[in-house]
Amino acid sequence: DQESGRGLFLVECLASRWGWEPRNPVGKTVWAEVAAPVRPGGP
């Protein structure tokens, strides 16, 4: 079993929208929107 490389897979599974952009000189910035459940009688 691999111990790395699952991050974007998990983001894709949990987020309603997501994306990424490269960072210089190395790496990337990832953003995600996760829908919050609606609670009856609450905000």
pTM greater than 0.85? no
CA distances from 33 to 13, 26, 27, 41, 43 (A): 11, 24, 20, 23, 18
What does the pLDDT look like over 4-40, one tens digit per residue? 778 889 999 999 999 999 999 999 999 999 998 888 8
**CA atoms 34, 10, 19, 28: torsion sign:** positive
Terminal CA-CA length for the chain: 41
Residue 26 falls within a domain, yes or no?
Answer: yes
Residue 15 falls within a domain, yes or no?
Answer: yes
Domain range spanning residue 26?
Answer: 1-35
Residue 41 falls within a domain, yes or no?
Answer: no
What's the CA gap between 29 and 15, in Å, rounded? Answer: 15
